[in-house]
Structure 1
């Protein structure tokens, strides 16, 4: 579970959405394990559950929500299956695709 940032910036074709609709109380209990952070005033427990609900709503903006919660992931199989693959280069390909997507959107607006 990525906490500090999220993967919502990935282009949709690079995202893997995990349906987190079920077992919400178990999820809350697992996130609540980090009591020292929560007790310190950072409500990661509420924020994490809220992020999952937001992901479900925003992922498919033009359709009815198919789940109540979504956690994003990305396929790291190429890194695991190919030890010579550079993690930085692998990651930068995702950033490049995102940059290209943003540039294409600006081009369409300018046309």
Structure 2
């Protein structure tokens, strides 16, 4: 699964679709479904009926999931990069391919 390359809290950029070029932070990663939810990206509008809890009803904006292949990590200069795994000091860490910077703390 490729979802292990992108985790909650990562800064990502959208590579394709209607939100192409937008950046945001991953708020939820779903590795079994290969999907991620990025804050402020892929916002869908849901129509809510009036209920006793919400007598007004109205429109509700929610962030819909994106497939993990549509997003990539963002480097310090704002460009997308792929992620590879390396072993450093006996630990498996994520490394940006473009810059060679370590992603994990």
Q: TM-score scaled by structure 2?
A: 0.28
Q: Quick check: which one's strand share is greater?
A: 2
Question: Which structure would you say has the larger RCO, counting Cα contacts within 8 Å and 6 or more residues apart?
Answer: 1
Q: Quick check: which one's helix share is greater?
A: 1
